[in-house]
Structure 1
Amino acid sequence: MPRTYRRKTSWGSTPLEEIERAASEVKGGKSIRSVAKERQIDRSTVRRYIKKRDTQEVKSVGYSGTASAKRVFSEEVEKELAEHIKKLAEQFHGISPKKCRELALELAGRNNIPTPSNWTEKGLAGKEWFKNFLARHHLSCRMPEATSLGRATAFNKTTVGEFFDNLAKVIDRYKFPPNMIFNVDETGVTTVQTPKQVVAEKGKKQVGSITSAERVELVTVVCAVNATGNAVPPMFIFPRVRYKDHFIAGAPPGSIGTTTRSGWISEDVFVVFLEHLVQQTKCSPDLPLLLIMDNHEAHISLKALDIAKTSGIVMLTIPPHTSHRLQPLDKCVYGPFKTYYNRALDGWMRSNPGKTASIYQIAGCVNDAFMSAMTPRNISSGFRATGIFPYNRDIFSDAEFEPSMVSDRPNLEQQPAAEGVAPVVSASLSAELPSPDPVHACGSRSDPNHARYVSPTDILPLLKSQQPRKQTNRKRVKTRILTDTPEKQAIERHHEERTNKLKGKKEIIHKKQGMWKRKQTQTKIAVESSSEESDVPIPFEDTSEYESSSDERSEPDVSDLVVGDFVIVRFASKSRSHHYIGLVDSFADNEVSARFLRRIRGITSSKKPTFVFKENDEASFPRKDVLKKLPQPQQAGGTARREQQFIFPCNLDHWNIE
């Protein structure tokens, strides 16, 4: 028999009122056949109804179903079980289908309710019963979204109430219009898109989709929106050392960009965004602006507070771990933004087959996503759904606070009956049925009003934290009005304490590094002073004037340079300076021409650095780039190849010659 039976006839579907009128006519003297023919009702249905009405009250037409007769639990017990399962899911501690079937079996066993034999054999309720149970009580098996314990417990009535108290305080104090109520937050976009569903052959085990790369590069995008539905041009933070204007080619008009080594936001970068926000909104002490943001450490700095004070920005933070509920950008904007961004990046990959997307394509893809997601409808919905504008502190129902109840309130159902007696809580469901109570083993307790009825809550209680949270020295962070004087003074004290602490750590590190360097220098001198054997002895002159480290970086004396001298030359690049050894060939005013040597890397017969001339390596450079004049080198000698190798009788370790 199919699981979902569909009727093939219309028997038994006649309305009860129509049958009642037909029975009244038969009682008035008409025959059953004539009445059935006139009203187009089967005469057997009329005859059966009259016969049944004479003996009992009739509530429906046709045969009574057998499903209710074979049901294991009564409607009241099933409803209580379904409500308990829904309550566990609301607390983010929902049970799996297997645990649900085990709970049903244990509930039947504890209340002496007869069950099918296959339930006892398998140790859990049957699949057919579970499927029909879900259909009867509007339940389904869902894949839950991973939620951290911090988010689940931080969103409670106390912390949310503190935020709305602060919000009401600043709104009443400054009378902000909706166009001056802003929310700012940052999000990360990467060079690798998340594949979406594609149409492929049914039954194929693996379906792939091309992405740009395996490892991602992250670019941070900082956005700000107001309660009227408008958005400020975003700021891009690229993972580079130096910023170039072409990084934001194709970005939304008015966007700005900057760089950090990691691509993440920092205190200095947030200050740049505040200046950008002031320029876009024209806020001032006469036209103040409310800026709602999270408690990220980059948002809370003395530089940012000084700019906010002088520009008329009132900074209000939301409680930690509540941005998924109280931040408009996270609530209704960034979700569509990420969807449109993945779609735009996937379109770029299809338009440029064989090419890899880099961070320089991110600005163009963000532009497409920004125009599609930052709409007035989405932004206004975010402010309305969080209760910020229009102001509504009762926007969240009790069901949304359920996950925090585990650690936010005592569970009265688990309190001990007497002092000193701890309640017994079932930690897991047992597959084995407990032995029934011998006093009441003769009867079934399928009625919830029965004195010995065991409810689902007694078998699997609602979770409650039994141990208090450990006390730490870390200060609790909460919602704050950062621009208020007491809060600003507290931030200044915290910043001063942190600066002094870091200064002390740096002094200790420098002290340890100095001791290590002195020890390393002493070890090096002892090693160099030891006698070493060499395959080719070289008679070195007295080099004490070159070995001295005190004048190693002194001002160079190159006034007496002549052709044939060996010198150390500096060439500066964007990031560092490079040192080379050159042989002076000629002079022209302040320009010097020389041929350059390169250092031989690896093991040589001598412990001193060895150099050879580079082929066709000649250059001219200013005389000021000459750092030191070197003594004439010694040739290694011994073979024709070693005749072209030079060793300088001086210490070159501090120069990092290349």
Structure 2
Amino acid sequence: MPRNYSRKTDRASWTEIALKQAIHDINKGTPVREAARVYGIPRSTLQTKLKRKIKEPSTLGRPPVFSKEEEKELADRIIHLCKLFFGLTREEVKKCAFDYANKNSLKCPFNTNKRRAGDDWLYGFLSRHPEISLRTPEATSINRVKAFNKKEVSIFYNNLEQLLNNYSFTANRIFNTDETGISTVQSPGKVLAKKGTKQVGYLTSWERGKNITVVCAFSASGMYVPPMFIFPRKRLNPLLGKGGPPGAAYRCSESGWINEELFFQYLKHFQNFVKPSLEDPVLLVMDNHTTHSTLQIYDFCKANGIVLLTIPPHTSHKLQPLDVTFYKSLKTGFNEECNKYLKCHPHQKITPFEVAELFNKAFMRVATPQKAVNGFEHTGIFPYNPDVFSPEDFTPAQIYKSHEPDIREAEESAEIIRHSSPELTLMGESIRHSTPEPTSSLVPGTSEHLSFTEMLPTPVAKNLGTRKNSKAVHSEIITSTPNKQNLILKEDRRLKKLERSKNKEKKLSSVKKQVFSNKESKLSTKQASSKMSHVDICLVCGEFGKNGELWLRCIICGEWAHKACTDQTQAHTQYICDHCC
């Protein structure tokens, strides 16, 4: 049957309300024929409804495989697992529908060879539940899922509340800064092509581009700080900033990533633009990368009225305003500008010298005040709203809680999955596509009813414990006075490590020089002995030659011999010694 079937008759076009009204009139004394004529319902249908006392309207075609309650339960489980980052694919849903119908002995037209429901059933199920659609998920690491929990987020909002009460920051004095990477190779979007084409290409500058770090910042009032570019170079070329954003800063590093010194320079750039002071301080929210917390940064921020607050690790996708509302649209705009450049300049590659100009065009178009205001509002930073996230947002992190009952629950869930659907496993195990068991082993005709909740249980993590010597990192106020002692110890460890590396490099360089000199001496001795054996000694007579005497060299072994000692009569012919013959 075609999936987009269009009705060709008007059979069963009456409504349930008309059917109920017709039955009500018949019970009051109206003839069946008269009620059928008035409400447009066939007389035989009315007689069947009256005889069997059926109150629901009849439908054409095959009866549904699952009831409305069963489909509602399946839809709820799909949404629930998707919120836990364990979304089901199309094939998993079709396989689960087949197993459910088979285990509960339901009559179904599903394919018994493939052991899964068909596409027609899936499309019908999605049409009956429009709240579910096929989406492309975003890869989310386990660290992000574990880190975004109620405890860590509460620590961040408690620190934020403390700073707001102590300093009374307004919207124009609350900033967020973060780094992002852009490349000289853009990510092509979707294009129109001939239907059925197996491969569709799109022009890019390189196969692997160079990564350039851009540091951006904006305030809760919609003000943007000019960005800073970090190029993967050793020396800065003034042409790298051609056509860049007004007021932007340009720096270099060997890797193209930010480090402690470059972040300190960015804070100077930020201070020159925002003009914070001890009388009018600003709050700067950022992630807790190690390059953001040094003793030098602490002293500079304390002296210039910059209050640093970090978010919990691996929570930037939820608590970083720049990540929530700005960076995605910025990179999309940058890719569009790269596409336009390649079309207007065919056969010209995008180098780091064109990045600033292309970035500026996207930045000027995307950097709107509304995005900045929405970023702080959606994260609950300003206006201050610690309840911006619902309890459902913290549910995935509950899977990774380490307590004893979780082990027993995980084992029970594993047993349910093993006996229900061989393609669904606990987190941490790969999805198996093993050969299904015969139909007879699926307990046909059993009186025990399995629900979709039992067949699709919530995955539970096993208690694996914590790693030794692992120190938990939380949100913190870097510029708080008690934190200075920790930064001093960190700076001492850094200096000691730097001193050890310098000493190691000195020892290594001395060893290399010694090895190189030994190799040179051995090589010179070997060359001298080779010269004596191969040039001065005759292969035939074993004696040294005289000045001006003619020598011949074997074309096979390369040894030399006096021409007088050989039987060679003509000098221009190739010589082969007796040993090689």
Shorter-chain-normalised TM-score: which range?
0.7 to 0.9
Equivalent in 109, 115, 118 of residue 123 of structure 1:
115
Equivalent in 468, 471, 494 of residue 472 of structure 1:
468
Deviation at 1:60, TM superposition (A): 5.5
Find the counterpart in structure 2 of residue 74 from structure 1: 67
Describe the SS at the equivalent of 2:400. helix
Instruction: Show the 5 A alignment for 1:152-551.
Output: 152-408=145-401, 415=408, 424-427=415-418, 429-430=421-422, 431-432=436-437, 433=439, 435=441, 441=445, 443=447, 452-515=448-511, 517-518=513-514, 521=517, 532=528
**Structure 2 residues without counterparts, runs of 5 or longer:** 423-435, 537-546, 549-581
Deviation at 1:334, TM superposition (A): 0.6
Kindly name which structure, 1 or 2, has the bigger radius of gyration based on alpha carbons. Answer: 1
Give the strand-richer structure, 1 or 2. Answer: 1
Equivalent in 76, 79, 85 of residue 86 of structure 1:
79
**Code of the aligned partner of 2:345:** N
Task: State the Cα deviation string for residues 383-431 of structure 1 (Å, max 9, x = none).
Answer: 11111111111112233323323203769798469xx999735358242
Q: 1:31 to 1:366 in 2, by over 3 A?
A: same
Tell me if the contact between 2:402 and 2:463 (Cα under 8 Å) persists in the aligned partners: no
Deviation at 1:495, TM superposition (A): 2.1
Deviation at 1:354, TM superposition (A): 2.4
Find the counterpart in structure 1 of residue 3 from structure 2: 3
Equivalent in 100, 116, 129 of residue 137 of structure 1:
129
Tell me if the contact between 1:99 and 1:429 (Cα under 8 Å) persists in the aligned partners: no
**TM-score where L is the length of structure 1:** 0.71
- 2:375 and 2:345 map into 1 onto residues whose CA distance is 36
Deviation at 1:338, TM superposition (A): 0.7
Deviation at 1:184, TM superposition (A): 0.5
Tell me if the contact between 2:217 and 2:225 (Cα under 8 Å) persists in the aligned partners: yes
Tell me if the contact between 1:406 and 1:465 (Cα under 8 Å) persists in the aligned partners: yes
Tell me if the contact between 2:277 and 2:304 (Cα under 8 Å) persists in the aligned partners: yes
Q: 1:97 to 1:395 in 2, by over 3 A?
A: same
**Structure 1 residues without counterparts, runs of 5 or longer:** 444-451, 537-604, 606-636, 639-658
Describe the SS at the equivalent of 1:70. coil
Q: 1:176 to 1:523 in 2, by over 3 A?
A: same
Describe the SS at the equivalent of 1:424. helix
**Code of the aligned partner of 1:491:** L
**Code of the aligned partner of 2:417:** S
Tell me if the contact between 1:185 and 1:223 (Cα under 8 Å) persists in the aligned partners: yes
Find the counterpart in structure 1 of residue 59 from structure 2: 65
Q: Which moved more, 1:160-169 or 1:510-519?
A: 510-519
Tell me if the contact between 2:318 and 2:379 (Cα under 8 Å) persists in the aligned partners: yes
- 1:11 and 1:529 map into 2 onto residues whose CA distance is 106
Matched residue pairs, number? Answer: 520
Task: State the Cα deviation string for residues 498-527 of structure 1 (Å, max 9, x = none).
Answer: 322342343344335435544654675687
Q: 1:103 to 1:364 in 2, by over 3 A?
A: same
Tell me if the contact between 2:376 and 2:382 (Cα under 8 Å) persists in the aligned partners: yes
Find the counterpart in structure 1 of residue 97 from structure 2: 104
Percent identity of equivalent pairs: 37
Give the helix-richer structure, 1 or 2. Answer: 2
Tell me if the contact between 2:12 and 2:59 (Cα under 8 Å) persists in the aligned partners: no
Describe the SS at the equivalent of 1:259. strand
**Code of the aligned partner of 1:302:** L
Tell me if the contact between 1:238 and 1:263 (Cα under 8 Å) persists in the aligned partners: yes
Q: 1:232 to 1:242 in 2, by over 3 A?
A: same
Q: Which moved more, 1:113-122 or 1:144-153?
A: 113-122
- 1:107 and 1:29 map into 2 onto residues whose CA distance is 47
- 1:308 and 1:327 map into 2 onto residues whose CA distance is 21
Task: State the Cα deviation string for residues 331-368 of structure 1 (Å, max 9, x = none).
Answer: 11011111111111221222222222211111111111
Deviation at 1:230, TM superposition (A): 1.1
- 2:63 and 2:478 map into 1 onto residues whose CA distance is 65
Q: 1:306 to 1:57 in 2, by over 3 A?
A: same
**TM-score where L is the length of structure 2:** 0.79
Find the counterpart in structure 2 of residue 550 from structure 1: none
**Code of the aligned partner of 1:85:** I
- 2:449 and 2:498 map into 1 onto residues whose CA distance is 64
Deviation at 1:233, TM superposition (A): 0.9
Describe the SS at the equivalent of 2:217. strand
- 2:46 and 2:421 map into 1 onto residues whose CA distance is 52
Q: 1:409 to 1:381 in 2, by over 3 A?
A: farther
Task: State the Cα deviation string for residues 418-457 of structure 1 (Å, max 9, x = none).
Answer: xx9997353582422574669xx464xxxxxxxx433334
Tell me if the contact between 2:171 and 2:220 (Cα under 8 Å) persists in the aligned partners: yes
Describe the SS at the equivalent of 2:488. helix
Tell me if the contact between 1:110 and 1:434 (Cα under 8 Å) persists in the aligned partners: no
Describe the SS at the equivalent of 2:214. strand
Deviation at 1:487, TM superposition (A): 1.8
Describe the SS at the equivalent of 1:268. helix
